[in-house]
Amino acid sequence: MSKKKVNLRDIDTKEHSGEHSHDDGHNHGDAAAVSNFRTYLPAILSFVMLMAGIAVDYFEVFPFFKGWIRILWYTVTYIPVGFPVIKEGWNSIKNGDFFTEFLLMSIATLGAFAIGQYPEGVAVMLFYAVGELFQNAAVNHAKSNIKALLDIRPNEALAYRNDDYISVHPESVEIGEKIQVRVGEKVPLDGMLLSEKASFNTAALTGESKPDTIAKGDKVFAGSINLDGVIEIETTKAFKDSSIARILDMVQNATTRKSKTELFIRKFARIYTPIVVFLAIGLTFLPYFFVDDYVFRNWLYRALIFLVISCPCALVISIPLGYFGGLGAASRNGILFKGASFLDAMTKVNTVVMDKTGTVTKGVFKIKEIVSTSAITETEFMQYLMAMEEQSTHPIAKAILEYKTDAHNLVASKVSEVAGKGLKGTVGGKTVFVGNKALMTSNSIEVPFATDSIVESIVMVAINNQYAGYVTIADELKEDAHQAIRQIREAGISKIIMLSGDKDSITQQIAKELKIDWAKGGLLPEDKLNEVEELKKQPDTKVAFIGDGINDAPVLASSDVGIAMGGLGSDVAIETADVIIQTDQPSKIARAIAIGRSTRKIVWQNIGLAFGVKIVVLILGAGGMATMWEAVFADVGVALLAILNAVRLQKMKW
């Protein structure tokens, strides 16, 4: 079976190129059905004619089916499946590659014709063709999984054309065009803000949990999420330079990074195939010198059987297809491995190091706790606080205003900002201060000492110069954060570590809540890198690092396996990482480990199956105890079994 067909570069990227069809689903379905029929037609035709020929041979219903008529029938039967293989073998020879499976299959089947074994010759080539179809079906199934994965990324931009905003594919947007981004939408292209101001969730880009508020003329990065109001952006980069385009390119090149097992098998096949050819030649002629009743035709038949059995299809195809099946299974689960080598690498990881913001937390603010004094109810306290924050554009204000209350909201007036401290204003005729401890202290307002031990961001409130309470604002854990840590431990990972650029107190609190072994906060990118480098110096330690921001890129590149959160991950992190979690779910890390281990297990099963069966049938063939039919099973049959075994990866529930 042709090893050249197992290549992710064959993925049809038309749907990502901006060439969109307006046909309905029925037209696409009909076209696919016609294409599939044409693909299978040669094999179907040969099979029908072969079965008819064998039936006529066996029942002898047509006396004229002899001599040149019989030869012509089986020749016509052979051509649909045999000609493409012979052509491929000839092209390989012209390119200097003599000893390929195409050459082995051509010699064996044409040799069978030469000694009058016409049905066997056709059958061998037919089963070979069927194996090719199985292989292509398995590959196409994996391709469809990867395509579906890529389709969840932004695929439209609202471009300003002809005095209106119209929806277009991002690839058609040119540098300098104006685009519109609505609330909650991802920015599809890098650009410059044209609106007066905007607030974005940029946790994926910066590693910081605080939303980023920018002004007119500032840069906006693709992958940021617009949090507040409809905005306009002037594009500064083309789609081909965006993270979406680069990820598609990564997928297409995923098979260029071979696993060590795969590389060994390919090298082995290059040495193994010519040896087999010369052994077959020896098996044909050498018995003349040692056997009394030497019959050339009998020994040639044994040599042809030997060639068919020894064809390395099962090894050359099923091994990479096993890894390809792993890549497809991973992509169907929202995990993108950039190559087979990283499927193997995941099986060896015993230490997991992770960032905090955007990895195990959502990177967005939420009210965690409301504490008011006995002089005021919680509802009244929040009314005063929300009245003031309605006048603010700060991201923390947005988190506070998400608080749900049925009470009538108060209205603030004369609100002014105290730089770096908070807000001062009047609510219901009362003077209200909202901000940090420094704001309270500068206005001689006494604050309880207990607030000093609070690790989260804190917003204090004072009414008529009397302390009224506080709210804490904290980044929220992802829904599957606890599950992720538990499953990573169940996968046999001996050590889980958290390294973060956030405050050490917050980092330690999150680590304690998740029961992480060791944590350290307040780190710069180079500090994270140094920590991981120290870990790697320990004997038998294989480190996987999980991050999502630009600040994580150095350590992603340095770790044995770099894993990026790809749903909102920065371009640099995604490009640097070896594995991308497209859904931003940390629980997928354990799943990636499981898929890597299952893939490696199936690959070694295929190797054992291929070698075991071939060795047995080779011995039987050389001794004259195996026919061409056993040879077909040892070659194509084993390859089919190995392919079906590899396809199991895509059917498993993880």
CATH architecture label of 336-361+478-593: 3-Layer(aba) Sandwich (3.40)
Identify whether the C-beta of residue 247 lies closer than 8 Å to the C-beta of residue 154. Answer: no
Q: What is the pLDDT of residue 111?
A: 81
Say which amino acid occupies 512. Answer: K
From-to residues of CATH 3.40.1110.10 in the chain: 363-477
CB 278 within 8 A of CB 99: no
State the Cα–Cα distance between residues 21 and 27, nearest whole angstrom.
10
Give how far the C-alpha of residue 213 lies from the chain's centroid of Cα atoms, to the nearest Å: 32
Question: DSSP class of residue 357?
Answer: B
- Residue 165 CA to residue 402 CA, distance in Å, equals 30
d(CA 159, CA 456): 41
Dihedral (CA of 235, 238, 244, 247) sign: negative
Q: At what angle do helices 313-332 and 260-285 cross, to 10 degrees?
A: 160
The ranges of the chain annotated as CATH 3.40.50.1000 are 336-361+478-593
151 is catalytic: no
What token pair was written down for 360?
A: 């195990």
pLDDT in the model for residue 9? 33
Q: Could you tell me where in the chain the CATH 2.70.150.10 domains are found? A: 157-249
186 DSSP assignment: B
DSSP 550: G
* CA 580 distance to own-chain centroid: 6
What gap in Å lies between CA 461 and CA 472, rounded to an integer?
12
Q: What pLDDT is stored for residue 6 in this prediction?
A: 36
Q: Are strands 561-565 and 579-581 parallel, antiparallel or unpaired?
A: parallel
Please give the Cα distance from 10 to 54 (Å, whole number): 38
Q: Residue 149: helix, strand or coil by DSSP?
A: helix
Class of domain 363-477: alpha beta
Q: Which of 344, 355, 502, 560 is catalytic?
A: 355
Residue 545 pairs in a beta bridge with 353, 562
Q: Angle at Cα 188 formed by Cα 185 and Cα 193, nearest 5°? A: 85
Instruction: Confirm if 473 and 459 have CB atoms less than 8 A apart.
Output: yes
Strands in 430-435's sheet, in edge-to-edge order, are: 361-372, 466-477, 457-463, 430-435, 422-427, 412-418
Q: What gap in Å lies between CA 138 and CA 327, rounded to an integer?
A: 12
* Mean pLDDT per 10-residue interval, the chain, length 654 residues: 38 36 46 67 92 89 88 95 90 81 79 84 82 69 54 74 90 92 86 90 52 82 81 88 55 52 63 80 89 87 78 68 79 80 90 90 83 91 92 79 77 86 92 93 92 86 95 87 95 93 85 94 86 92 86 85 74 76 86 92 86 80 74 72 77 68
Identify the bridge partners of residue 199 per DSSP, sorted by sequence position: 213
DSSP state of 229: S
What pLDDT does residue 334 have?
A: 77
Question: Residue 56: CB partners within 8 Å, gap ≥ 6?
Answer: 62, 65
Nearest residue to 331 via CA among 7, 591, 135, 5: 591
- Is 2.40.30.10 the CATH number for 157-249? no
pLDDT at residue 317, as a whole number:
66
Which pLDDT value is given to residue 152?
A: 45
Closest CA to 360 of 654, 581, 591, 653: 581
